[in-house]
Structure 1
Amino acid sequence: MADIFENAVTSIVLGIEDFREGSDARMLSAARNYYAGVLLLGKECLVRAAPDADPMEIIGAKFEPVPDGDGGVDHEVVGYATVDLAQLKSRFKKFGLSWPDVNIEKLQRFRNNLEHYHLAEPVGALKEAIAASFPMVIDFLETLKEDPQDVLADVWDTILEETNAFNKVQKSCMDSLLRLNWPGEIGQLDRMSCTNCGSSLIGQTDRDNIESEAADAKCFQCGHEYDQRQLAEMVVSASYEIDAYYAAKNGDSSPIATCPECSADAYVENGEMSICFACKETIGGECSRCSADITVHEYNPDYPGLCSYCAHTWEKVMRE
């Protein structure tokens, strides 16, 4: 086995052993060891994808141009720093490798806080973030054509137990939200995050309720409670935050807005719908003066039937 692979497996096993022990101090050690091991395992995937190359030319973080003697340039590795999570994900794409569909960003944030500050969230949230990322280790090992049960034999039972337990609770929480009569499509609920502890285990308090207007929720990690408006905001954020990111990147209006009626940050306008997920009010329609579409971003409650341009024009007339 290559050194990177050996180090990756060792770090992951040590991290999961700390995780299994469960004390606060050992959980902090688990985060450091396990996260480092996961990144190393991903780097090994890149290295094996180009076996004839110098590993640092694949996983090095910094390069600089140097003359090649023929009027062109080569690129040499600078220093010994290797790729971080974002760079690793980017290089997977360039190498044509499949990136695991696992949310590891939460664990990354916890790990960075440990490095530079301290863990502000309860240790239970850190434990959840680690357990939620176990499938990434399995996916990386499958990319490497390694048997995860064999490679991780000493901690395999823990991986199975914790993954199954976490998935069971998370599925129950997500199902309780998916059954509600939201006015539009929702998804990516595993990206919801408790404002108190950072957990994604947020579900309805009343699991039999199907009315989104009557829904309240709580975090099944720390017990923090959320009212109907807060829940709607969290669901909208999780479901449409990626669309909002790309809209901002392209200079377009965000599909998420503050509702003019109830003030919840749960209004969705994306070309397919224009409605608030909290109160189900809609301001969509045509301007009574010029027939232009009225969007939530230009809506004026003083002139509800006018687009922003016509409302501005009318205000000028009234002032004169």
Structure 2
Amino acid sequence: MSEIFDNAITSIALGIEDFETGTDERMLSAARNYYAGLLLLAKECLVRAAPKADAMEVIGAKFKPKPDGSGGVEHEVEGYATVDLHKLKARFKDFGLAWPNADINKLQRFRNDLEHYHLKEPMTALSEAIASSFPMVVDFFNILNEDPQTNLAGVWDTILEKREAFEKVQEKCLDSLENVAWPAEVSHLDRMACPNCQSSLLGQLDPDNKDHEHVIGKCYQCGEEISFEKFMEMVVASSYEVDAYIRAKEGLNPSIADCPECNASAYVETGEISLCFVCGESVAGECIRCGAGIDVNEYNSEYPGLCSYCAYMAEKMMRE
């Protein structure tokens, strides 16, 4: 086994042992050790994908050009710093490796807060962040063709137990949301985060409610109740934020907008969907003057039947 792999196993095992105690002091250590172990496992995946290369040539963070003596240059590792999470993901893509589909961003943010000696969220949220990232361990071990149960024998039962407990609560939360008759398609609701503790364990206050207009959110980690309007904004963001990002990159109007009727950031505009999740308002239609399509980005509340161009011309004529 390589030194990187050995260090990864040691860090993860220490992190889980700290995690088992549940005390605030040990949870801080758990976050540091466990996060470091995950990154080391990822680095080992890269190193094994290029077995003939020096490890630092694969995971080094800084390189400098150096003349190769033949009129060209070669890149030499500078220092001993290795890649961070962002660069790890990029190198996985470059190496043709699949990055695990699990949430490590919360754990990273917690670890960064701890480095500055301040954790904003409760320890229960940190515990969830660790538990929800457990699938990454399995995925990395699959890439390495190693057995996690054998290598992490001392803590493997804890990993399975904590993950199972987290998944049971999460399943109940998501089931309560799947019962709702949403006004349009929703997705990725497990990626929502409690505004109080950042937990993803969000469901309905009334799990049996099916009417989307009566949805009140509840965090099953800290107990926070989330108002209808705020929860709808969160649902829209989780469901359409990625689409909004892609559209923005392509120079298109975003798919999420402030509603012209109620001002909530819950109006969805995709071309196929045009409505507000809070008040139900839909401004989609055709311009009564030129027949052009009207969506929320074209809509002018002072000239509701006109597209933006015709509204501009009408306003110009009135000024003249």
Is the pair's TM-score, using the shorter chain for normalization, greater than 0.5?
yes
Inter-partner Cα distance in structure 2 for 1:56 and 1:166: 37
Pair 1:297 & 2:300 matched: no
User: Which runs of no fewer than 5 residues in structure 1 stay unpaired?
Assistant: none
Inter-partner Cα distance in structure 1 for 2:157 and 2:125: 21
Aligned to 2:315: 315
Aligned to 1:217: 217
Q: Give 1:304 shift.
A: 0.8
242-251 vs 186-195, which moves further: 242-251
Q: Give 1:117 shift.
A: 5.0
Inter-partner Cα distance in structure 2 for 1:66 and 1:293: 58
Q: Which amino acid aligns with 2:91?
A: R
Equivalent positions of 1:141-152 (< 5 A) are: 141-152=141-152
Q: Give 1:262 shift.
A: 1.7
Pair 1:231 & 2:237 matched: no
Aligned to 2:129: 129
Aligned to 2:186: 186
Aligned to 1:83: 83
Q: How many aligned positions are there?
A: 320
Pair 1:12 & 2:8 matched: no
Inter-partner Cα distance in structure 2 for 1:263 and 1:179: 27
Inter-partner Cα distance in structure 2 for 1:284 and 1:259: 12
Aligned to 1:206: 206
Q: Which amino acid aligns with 1:38?
A: L
Q: Give 1:79 shift.
A: 1.2
- Aligned with 1:124: secondary structure? helix
Inter-partner Cα distance in structure 2 for 1:22 and 1:186: 35
Q: Which amino acid aligns with 2:22?
A: G
Inter-partner Cα distance in structure 1 for 2:213 and 2:249: 33
Equivalent positions of 1:40-79 (< 5 A) are: 40-79=40-79
- Aligned with 1:19: secondary structure? helix
Aligned to 1:21: 21
Inter-partner Cα distance in structure 2 for 1:168 and 1:52: 44
Q: Give 1:242 shift.
A: 1.3
User: Which runs of no fewer than 5 residues in structure 2 stay unpaired?
Assistant: none
Q: Which amino acid aligns with 1:29?
A: S
Q: Which amino acid aligns with 1:278?
A: V
- Aligned with 2:164: secondary structure? helix
Inter-partner Cα distance in structure 2 for 1:303 and 1:145: 64
Q: Give 1:116 shift.
A: 2.9
**Residue-by-residue CA offset, 1:19-44 (whole Å, 9 max, x unaligned):** 10010111111000100000000000
- Aligned with 1:163: secondary structure? helix
Q: Give 1:295 shift.
A: 1.9
**Residue-by-residue CA offset, 1:163-219 (whole Å, 9 max, x unaligned):** 001011111111211221112211111210111000001100111111111111110
Inter-partner Cα distance in structure 1 for 2:207 and 2:301: 37
**Residue-by-residue CA offset, 1:125-159 (whole Å, 9 max, x unaligned):** 01000000001011101111111111111111111
**Residue-by-residue CA offset, 1:258-315 (whole Å, 9 max, x unaligned):** 1111211111111221111222221111111111111212311111111111111111
Inter-partner Cα distance in structure 2 for 1:293 and 1:256: 18
TM-score, scaled relative to structure 1: 0.97
Equivalent positions of 1:250-289 (< 5 A) are: 250-289=250-289
TM-score, scaled relative to structure 2: 0.97
- Aligned with 1:290: secondary structure? coil
**Residue-by-residue CA offset, 1:222-265 (whole Å, 9 max, x unaligned):** 01111211111111111111122222333322111111112111
Inter-partner Cα distance in structure 1 for 2:107 and 2:293: 43
- Using the aligned pairs only, state the percent identity: 65
Inter-partner Cα distance in structure 2 for 1:116 and 1:57: 30
Inter-partner Cα distance in structure 2 for 1:239 and 1:117: 34
Q: Which amino acid aligns with 2:281?
A: E
Inter-partner Cα distance in structure 1 for 2:305 and 2:178: 34
